[in-house]
Structure 1
Amino acid sequence: MTTHQPHILVIVPCYNEQGAIANVVHELIALRNQENYQLDVLVVNDCSTDGSLSIVRKLPCSYLNLPVNLGIGGAMHSGYRYAYQKGYDIAVQMDGDGQHPANELPTVLQPIFQREADVSIGSRFICREGFQSSFTRRLGIKYFRWLNQLIIGKTIHDSTSGFRAFNRRTIEIVNSYYPDEYPEPESIVQFGLQGLRIKEVPVKMRNREEGVSSIDTSRALYYMLKVSLGIVFMYFRLINKRTR
């Protein structure tokens, strides 16, 4: 009796990461060969203005080339729709800047493989090893931890983590809707209100090899306000949908 091996798509959003994107893809290909995964890589080039696209075209992976810059939420929504249409069992988000080591992917996949979770999130704040992010971002993460607990009754230690895996049920949900601009904290509320099982697993992350974070000290307050409003709108949107 043979066991079905899940078909995995790793989606790598890429914006001006010409110095890191090739290494990210090659690490994933090496992991696929080592673990014997049925794994494909999709790079979503979010209208990069550097040489990222020319590098991606030469890599052993599929790619989408967005004609306009959609931001991380739009880029990931494009990748999730691709995963849904192609019938993938699992979709994984991994950043294109090198922060997420491929050798941590089996840890993130394990709760999905074991059917313990619909959403698995790689958290740098459980084992507290490796790169821990900036002080300003850590403050924001603590705030969203409190907000998530208030709204969905679940503590998520690393709500801004872009290292996450979704099963087919979750892929179907994000195919229809996924938050734009700063989607990670908002989507946690989306998943919690839709009854998905969310599990965090400890991973070690690296400092980014290429690119600059869209959330710096000057934009931190804007980020927190914008995401807070997005979470509130998400809450009322889903609550109203339930009562119809």
Structure 2
Amino acid sequence: MRTTALGLTCAMMTAAVALTGCGTGPLDGGSLARDIAEQEAARLNDKFGHRDRVRDAEYIAATEVPKGAQTDGETHITPVGWSGRTTGDEKATIDVRFAVTVPERHAATLGDRGNSAGSATRCYRYVLQLYRYTEYHKIGCPAIATPPVPSASPVLTLPGDATDRLAAALRTATPDTLSGAVRAAFPQDGISVDTVTHEGILVAAVGVPAERDCILMIRTADGATKQLGYDPVQLEPGELGCSVGLYTNPPR
């Protein structure tokens, strides 16, 4: 009878410990810090996501890796290395350090174990490729106390007055001078120019293909210029792109 009572008492104590955490002590802060680092690394991988633009690794590191402290100042995310770019079959790699500090926290309520103070530093390498989802894996942290800060060169875009420039070029152009007039208005490398005379109408498409940026405009026989709309899907790779075909041969 004593054995049965003792067994029942032990079972009740075990259940109480499971429900309240009594006697198990605070959670280990170092373990919590490692978990937070892993969670933040996975979150950054999701943020990098699917790549659909040509970019240098340094540009991505400068513009897409969170700056400063995260999670109430307890997690510091720092790019510590980068190379390559996302174009063609090339790959961009970005190494990121996650330094997590967990302060001591005492139990506040019944069942709350609190945790000890702890810290962890983890590094991960992210591999980014055009038209692929980002992948990552853990690496050893480089011995760099203060890594260089990545900088982002401006991405090429159409100038702010692009619409006015194109309209002015069309107004003064003839079928013979159309191509040269539009190119003279947009001489920058990386800006595409496509022109044609179609049934007496001057047609021009000017854009930055890498950024899916495009202006389509016509000049009618009476000299009036008009900017036209189009389906943005047609700017994606494999479609018409920024071309006069958006007007002369639109997709059905």
Whether these two folds match at TM > 0.5 is no
TM-score (norm 2): 0.21
Higher strand residue share: 2
Larger relative contact order (CA 8 Å, sep ≥ 6): 1
Higher helix residue share: 1
